[in-house]
Amino acid sequence: MSDGMPVVVTVVEVMDETPTVKTLRFDRKFTILPGQFCMVWVPGIDEVPMGFSSPDMITVQRVGEATQALISLSIGSKIGIRGPLGNGFSPQGRVLAIAGGVGVAPLYPLAVNGSVDTFILGARTEAELIFADSLMDLTDLKIATDDGTAGHHGFVTGVLDEQIDLLSYDTICVCGPEMMMKGILNRLSDAGIADRGQFSLHRYMKCGVGVCGSCAMDPDGLCVCRDGPVFTGDQIINSEFGSYARDASGQRKRV
């Protein structure tokens, strides 16, 4: 992307991940850093932010009109990809990755390229685990499910508390529901290593390039699209992260 316009791609494969999540593979590979995102244009519907789950894939959870349209697409359908946008993860040393639900998508490329030593994957049930089979072959995988149907019975933070020595990792890369990520950041902060955390944030976006301000976070005015979506823990420890986001009108709302 050089002119700010979306690149039209064709869907060549649709993979069912869970009852509400599908992965779409398209006919073009983009040059991405793990953690970067794109604005996905669904003709006639909307343009929405989506993390790359590989250079030629996005993994979509049904949450609204645009995502419902995306997971309803079939092979041969066309969408627009504007990106890659934002920054990505920059892991160093020994790496722990933690994902909740569809938050596994931007972390998955890190595991594919061999950057992750330990991966904690969480979901509500075993049926909702995403990429678990692949991750088992790529890294030391630990699983948590809310209902106990696979792995640890409980949240990913339970695996952290019971099985992980945080101080033994140089980088902790995280993506998932915001309150899950806030719980992890609190643990890193309590251990004095908030700066080792790298958190991929999701916010409502209109432009994706830092113009509209819909994804801004106080008190420093950081824009998730322009300054993120990946932030270190020390950048966001005193921000709205875990407390507030903004809706389509720009009004603050509780996370």
Provide the annotated binding site for [2Fe-2S] cluster.
Answer: 207, 212, 215, 225
Cα(120)–Cα(169) distance, rounded to whole angstroms?
A: 13
Contacts of 36 (CB under 8 A, 6+ apart): 51, 52, 83, 84, 85, 86, 87, 88, 106, 229
Burial of 111 (0-12, 13-18, 19+ CB in 10 A): buried
Binding-site residue ranges: 207, 212, 215, 225
Buried b (16+ CB within 10 A) or exposed e, 9-30: bebeebeebbebbbbbbbeeeb
